[in-house]
Every structure is written in structure tokens, then in C-alpha cells.
Amino acid sequence: MIEPTVNEQKTGGFKPRSDLPFYTIFISISAIYVFLIVAMLSAETTYTTPDHIWNAFSKPEIRYAIWLSLVSCAITTVLSLWVSVPIGYLMSRHEFPGKTLIDAILDIPIVLPPLVIGLCLLILFQVEVPQIEWLNRMVAEKSGVEYVPATLVSQTQSVDDVIRKVTKVTFGKSIGVTYEIPSVILAQFMVACAFAVRTMRVTFDQIGPRYEQVALTLGCNRGQAFWRVVFPQAYRGLLAAGTLAWARSLGEFGPILVFSGATRMKTEVLPTTVFLELTVGNIEGAVAASLIMVVSALIVLVIARMFGLTRGAAI
Amino acid sequence: MISVKNLCVQVGEFRLKDVSFEVPGGHYAVLMGKTGSGKTTILETICGLKKIQSGTVSLNGRPMTHASPAEREIGYVPQDGVLFHTMTVRDNLSFALELRKWNQREINSRVEELAELLGISALLNRTPFGLSGGETQRVSLGRALAAKPSILCLDEPLSALDEDTRGEMCALLEEVQRVTGVTTLHITHNASESERLGDIKLVIVEGAVHSLSGKSTEIPGVTPDDRQAAETKTDTSERMKAQ
């Protein structure tokens, strides 16, 4: 019986504490981080003069890197969208045995260190497979060389060799993957696509199955329901996935360094340029190349904001 | 005619067992039930959107148990309309007709006719964005009726509407049924809708569908309190369960 009176006395003299300390701490922490972002960007942009940047642009190596970066990122983005739409849709709509496992596999490129992805790709294309006699004969015919059974020299060849031979036969020109331009695209694709898949899956989850169900009752088959009703509604998600894949692939460095090498005028993309210029002590060149990436990243950010994509996107 | 015999459906944890009922051609049936009783599941099963474990569904005398939704030729009006919002109202209405490869003149005249019947002629060139609840339901109804189905399934078409709009929509549904003679299955948790619209009244209690004859308000196994609760409850939880 004593306790209630004690409580009453307490509440009688109770004075709520101020919100000031809470907001002071939270706002200061936030401000420090935002300041760091702005400071590092402005430091970089003011580090060089426009002259230096212009000089850097006139170097053929850097021009080549810009060109290769733009082209490879565009191809990667298109590939990622093609792949992420079906995967995202299937994962969002269907239950099947082993779905949890597939889900985990799809996340591997996101959690794996990028360098390791590059190494895995490098090893994958060096896996030894048996010599294919008829393919070797066709290659010999194509290049006008007398056919010598390769099995006499070596019983096996790498996957990359097989691809070189197949492209030689089909296109008349041997195109390899490792240490060539295709490896740049593949290295970018492996990581960028995983992010696009996640975004597309969230997109289809948000659209929900009810639109398709109505379309099905109206006479659509699954394909028509998807292309006529669901896909047009997914355009925001497509844009988000596309910009995300593009931004990811533009900044990709680790896997490219391992899988494609850093050969000037061949497999040099913008991050490689920054790295190469830094190693030879040309900081202006490095800054100029990185500024191009800063500007592109800002453009991506603006596009994403314009379509209100950043909140829902699974980044 | 809709005929459902010994239907068993499993949706996640939820299970419907041994449901049987029949709606003769040209009649307006109202299926009532509490929130979470499986009304929506029954409707979606008839439309072919849910897998059937056992039992049969036949429509107009033809067995349709495992037919695809497209083959069943049912007009389906889902809860909240679910209009295709990347298309205009006109395109929503002509969607089923374009799939059936009608020529443009026929499509136009059918769309005008529907818009007239449903009172949405002024909305045809708008997108569904910004339509009111009543307008959305009218467009959804028009989209379902466009290809002249012989069966119409309505999933709580009036639950999201205010009192006045609800009265208008009831009158419209009566008018539509009178004009088209479509066999209708309307599910609701609202007893007054059932009284007003249904010439066949069905009620689902604990997974079994009973038929109520005439104007009787006695529902086997349901106390008036239960019905009151079912009417006033929002249907969100039921929708989530049913999906």
C-alpha cells in the first residue's frame, strides 16, 4: 500500500529530460560523414587545373580507356538486364525445390571479394579439357596450315583455347577471353548482374502477381501476361537495375586486373588507368581519369533520383 | 452455370475441404463468409488461379477442373480493381478484345457500348491513376465484361467504397445482370449486399458452403454476432491469407 504513494510523489516532481543531447549526438555524427564525402570530392576536383585534365584527355591511352569503359559498361548493362529479368521474375513468382539454394548462389557474386571473382574466372578459363580432333582439323583448314594432330604435343587444352578455335572457325578470327576485351566484359558482368538480379526481383515482388492473374483470366497465356502487363509496369525497376549495373561495372577493378590484366591500349579501363597512372607517379593523370568516373557516377545518381529509384532499389 | 463438387484446395497453411455448390445459368449468387473463411480462394479456384488438389469445377456444363484461366472465359473483377495502370481506361477495356483479335471498328463500338452501360464514357482517355474507388470498380467491371463472358466473378467489389457509391454500384450491378444475363458469383462479407443483389445466397461456414433459401436470414452455424463481426472487420487480413 505504500508503493502507490511513492509513485505519486515521483511523478509529481517528474521533469522530462531535454531532447538536446540526443539530437546533438545524432546530428554531429551524420554531419561528420556528410562532410567527409563532400570534402573528399571537392579536394579531388580542385586538385588539378583544367589544363592538366585536358592534357590527360589528349593522351591516346586515356582516350582508349574511356572508350573501352563506355563500350564495355554498355554491353554489360544490356547483358545484365537480359539475364536479370527472367531470373528476377522466376525467383519472385515461383516456388520450386532448391529455391533457397539458388537464392544463395545468386548472392555469391555480391558477397565474394571482387578479386576472388577475377581469380575464379581466370582459373575457369584455364581448366584443361581434352583436344577435339575435328575442331583442330577445321582450324588448320581455315588458317591454311597443314594439319598436325595436336594430341601429339599435348593431350589437353584450356577452355580459352577451345573458344579461340571455335571463334577462328566461325568468324575467321581467333578471339580469346582471358587477357582480351571479352574478359573485361565478363568480369564486369559477373558482379553487375548479381545486383541487377536483386533489383529486378524486388521490382517483381512489389508489382505482385495480381495483375498477371487478371490478365490470365482475360485470355493471356503466361508470356502475353508478362510482356503486355507486368513488363511495362517494371520500367522503373529496369531503369534502376540498368543504372546500378552500369555504375557497378564502371567501377569494377579487382576482377579485371586479375582476369584481363592491365595492358595499355588493350584491356585498360578507367579504374585501370587510375591504377597505372598512380603507379608511375602521375597523380594528375590519375585524378583526371577518376574525375570522369566521378562525373558519370553523379549523372547516374541524378537519373536514379529523377525516377525516384534509390529508395526501393536493393542496393 | 457454375458447378463446384467436392473441391479441396490448399493455400499455404490454409485449407479448404470438400466444398460443393452450384449456381444455375443467369442467376446472381452471393457467397458470404467471415474474414479468412476462404471466399477469395474459392473464387480464384473457379477462375483457375489456384491449383486444385481434388474435386471438380465445371462451367456451363463443361469440365474445367484443370483448364487454364484463359480457357474458362470468366470475367474476373478482383478486389480493388487491379487496373493495368500503364494503359488508358480505353486500353484496359479493349485488352481482352485485342487478345481475341477483334478488328478495330468492333473494338471501338464494344468499348463505347460498355462505357455507356457503366457510365465511364468521360474517363476513356485517362489513365487509371487518380480514379476514385467507384470509378476503378466500374472500369474493372467493364474490362471483365468486354469479351462477353457468360460467367462473372466479383471479389468484394464494393468493400472499399463509401455508402453512397456502394448504393450506386449495387444498382449498376443489378442493371448489368439484367442487360447481359451473365451468371454472377459475388463474394462479400456484407449482409445487406447479399440481401439486395443475390437471388441465390450462399454462406461459407468452417469450410462448408450452405445455401440460404429465399429471404431467410438464418445462417446455419452462424450467430448474429459472428455476422456482425464479419461485416465490420476490414478485409486486409483475409486478403493476405487468401494470397
Whether residue A139 sits in one domain with residue A90: no
The CA distance from A78 to the nearest CA of chain B, in Å, is 23
* Distance (Å) of CA A53 to CA A47, A61, B148: 10, 14, 68
Judged by CB atoms closer than 8 Å, whether chains meet at A216 and B49 is answered as yes
Residue B227 pLDDT grade (very low, low, confident, very high; cuts 50, 70, 90): very low
Residue where one domain finishes, among candidates A138, A153, A171: A171
Total number of domains in chain B: 1
* Out of A209, A220, A232, closest to residue B99 by CB: A220
Burial letters A235-264, b for 16+ CB under 10 A, else e: ebbbbbbbbbbbbbbbbbbbbbbbbbbbee
* Predicted local distance difference test score (pLDDT) of residue A45: 85
* Out of B82, B86, B100, closest to residue A219 by CB: B100
Total number of domains in chain A: 2
Q: Can you tell me the distance from the alpha carbon of A196 to that of A314, in angstroms, rounded to the nearest whole number?
A: 9
Whether residue A210 sits in one domain with residue A63: yes
For residues B77 and B169, is the Cβ–Cβ distance under 8 A? no
Q: What CATH number is attached to the domain comprising B69?
A: 3.40.50.300
- Please report whether residue B121 resides in a domain: no
What is the grid cell recorded at A178? Answer: 582471358
**CA-based max dimension of chain B:** 54
- Please report whether residue A40 resides in a domain: no
Up-side HSE of residue B129: CA atoms within 13 Å toward CB? 4
- Please report whether residue B67 resides in a domain: yes
Mean pLDDT of A28-35: 97
- Please report whether residue B21 resides in a domain: yes
Whether residue A137 sits in one domain with residue A83: no
* Predicted local distance difference test score (pLDDT) of residue A151: 66
The residue among A154 and B145 whose pLDDT is bigger is: B145
* Distance (Å) of CA B234 to CA B14, B156, B160: 19, 11, 9
pLDDT at A232 over 90: yes
Whether residue A205 sits in one domain with residue A187: yes
For residues B32 and B191, is the Cβ–Cβ distance under 8 A? yes
- Please report whether residue A285 resides in a domain: yes
Judged by CB atoms closer than 8 Å, whether chains meet at A233 and B48 is answered as no
Residue A308 pLDDT grade (very low, low, confident, very high; cuts 50, 70, 90): low
pLDDT at B30 over 60: yes
- Please report whether residue B108 resides in a domain: no
Residue with cell 579501363: A269
Residue A309 pLDDT grade (very low, low, confident, very high; cuts 50, 70, 90): low
- Provide the β-strand partners of residue B74: B151
Given CB atoms, is B12 within the 8 Å cutoff of chain A? Answer: no
Q: What CATH number is attached to the domain comprising A55?
A: 1.10.3720.10
- Please report whether residue A87 resides in a domain: yes
Whether residue A277 sits in one domain with residue A155: no
Q: Is A7 left (phi over 0), alpha (psi -120 to 50) or beta?
A: alpha
Residue B194 pLDDT grade (very low, low, confident, very high; cuts 50, 70, 90): confident
Judged by CB atoms closer than 8 Å, whether chains meet at A216 and B74 is answered as no
List chain B residues with CB under 8 Å of A233.
84-86
Question: For B73-160, where are the alpha helices, taking DSSP H only?
Answer: 89-99, 104-118, 133-145
Give me the domain span that covers residue A139: 128-171
Interface of B with A in 141-170 (CB under 8 A): 143-144, 146-147
Give me the domain span that covers residue B158: 2-82+148-242
Give the residue on B whose Cα is nearest the Cα of A234.
B86
Judged by CB atoms closer than 8 Å, whether chains meet at B69 and A229 is answered as no
- Provide the β-strand partners of residue B75: B152
| CA B236 to centroid of chain Cα atoms | 17
With H, G, I as helix, E, B as strand and everything else as coil, classify residue B55.
strand
* Predicted local distance difference test score (pLDDT) of residue B139: 94
Given CB atoms, is B16 within the 8 Å cutoff of chain A? Answer: no
pLDDT at A181 over 60: yes
Mutation target vs B (from A203, A218, A220, A221; most B CBs, 10 A cutoff): A218
Residue A96 pLDDT grade (very low, low, confident, very high; cuts 50, 70, 90): very high
Residue with cell 549526438: A25
* Predicted local distance difference test score (pLDDT) of residue A10: 54
Q: Can you tell me the distance from the alpha carbon of B91 to that of A315, in angstroms, rounded to the nearest whole number?
A: 35
Whether residue A229 sits in one domain with residue A94: yes
- Please report whether residue A213 resides in a domain: yes
With H, G, I as helix, E, B as strand and everything else as coil, classify residue A179.
coil
Residue B239 pLDDT grade (very low, low, confident, very high; cuts 50, 70, 90): very low
Judged by CB atoms closer than 8 Å, whether chains meet at A218 and B86 is answered as no
pLDDT at A153 over 60: yes
With H, G, I as helix, E, B as strand and everything else as coil, classify residue A136.
helix
pLDDT at A40 over 60: yes
* Out of A214, A219, A220, closest to residue B78 by CB: A214
Mean pLDDT of B170-179: 90
Helices and strands counted in chain A (H then E): 16, 2
* Predicted local distance difference test score (pLDDT) of residue A150: 67
The CA distance from A4 to the nearest CA of chain B, in Å, is 40
pLDDT at B242 over 60: no
- Please report whether residue B44 resides in a domain: yes
- Please report whether residue A2 resides in a domain: no
Q: Are strands B183-188 and B200-205 parallel, antiparallel or unpaired?
A: unpaired
Average pLDDT value for chain A: 88
Is the ipTM of this structure higher than 0.90?
no
Mutation target vs B (from A217, A222, A224, A229; most B CBs, 10 A cutoff): A217
* Out of A211, A228, A235, closest to residue B82 by CB: A211
Whether residue A245 sits in one domain with residue A106: yes
- Please report whether residue B237 resides in a domain: yes
pLDDT at B241 over 70: no
- Please report whether residue B216 resides in a domain: yes
Mean pLDDT of B165-179: 90
pLDDT at B216 over 70: no
User: In chain A, pLDDT over 90 holds for what percent of residues?
Assistant: 53
List chain A residues with CB under 8 Å of B73.
219
- Please report whether residue A202 resides in a domain: yes
Judged by CB atoms closer than 8 Å, whether chains meet at B143 and A215 is answered as no
- Please report whether residue A38 resides in a domain: no
- Provide the β-strand partners of residue B14: B11
- Please report whether residue A33 resides in a domain: no
* Predicted local distance difference test score (pLDDT) of residue A305: 75
A interface residues, B as partner, C-beta within 8 Å: 209-211, 213-221, 224, 228-229, 232-233, 235
Given CB atoms, is B200 within the 8 Å cutoff of chain A? Answer: no
* Predicted local distance difference test score (pLDDT) of residue B158: 87
List chain A residues with CB under 8 Å of B146.
218
Judged by CB atoms closer than 8 Å, whether chains meet at A214 and B68 is answered as no
C-alpha triplet A140, A143, A149: angle, nearest 5°? 15
Judged by CB atoms closer than 8 Å, whether chains meet at A213 and B69 is answered as yes
Judged by CB atoms closer than 8 Å, whether chains meet at A210 and B48 is answered as no
* Predicted local distance difference test score (pLDDT) of residue B234: 41
Contacts 24+ apart (CB under 8 A), B87-90: B87/B127, B87/B128, B88/B124, B88/B125, B88/B126, B88/B127, B89/B120, B89/B123, B89/B124, B89/B125, B89/B126, B89/B127, B89/B128, B89/B131, B89/B139, B90/B124, B90/B125
Q: Can you tell me the distance from the alpha carbon of A122 to that of A159, in angstroms, rounded to the nearest whole number?
A: 10
Q: Can you tell me the distance from the alpha carbon of A118 to that of A315, in angstroms, rounded to the nearest whole number?
A: 22
* Predicted local distance difference test score (pLDDT) of residue A148: 75
Whether residue A73 sits in one domain with residue A184: yes
For residues B19 and B54, is the Cβ–Cβ distance under 8 A? no
The CA distance from A210 to the nearest CA of chain B, in Å, is 7
pLDDT at B209 over 90: no
pLDDT per position as a tens digit, A104-152:
999 999 999 999 999 999 999 999 888 888 888 888 888 877 777 766 6
Given CB atoms, is B99 within the 8 Å cutoff of chain A? Answer: yes
pLDDT per position as a tens digit, A191-206:
999 999 999 999 999 9
Residue B226 pLDDT grade (very low, low, confident, very high; cuts 50, 70, 90): very low
Q: Is A172 left (phi over 0), alpha (psi -120 to 50) or beta?
A: left
Average pLDDT value for chain B: 84
pLDDT at A299 over 50: yes
- Among the residue ranges A45-59, A275-289, B89-103, the one predicted with the least confidence is A45-59
* Predicted local distance difference test score (pLDDT) of residue B141: 94
Residue B208 pLDDT grade (very low, low, confident, very high; cuts 50, 70, 90): confident
pLDDT at B100 over 60: yes
pLDDT at B219 over 70: no
Whether residue A198 sits in one domain with residue A158: no
- Among the residue ranges A180-194, A247-261, A293-307, B120-134, the one predicted with the least confidence is A293-307
Q: Is B72 left (phi over 0), alpha (psi -120 to 50) or beta?
A: alpha
Whole-prediction pTM: 0.83
- Please report whether residue B111 resides in a domain: no
Mean pLDDT of A21-40: 96
pLDDT per position as a tens digit, A235-250:
888 988 998 899 899 9
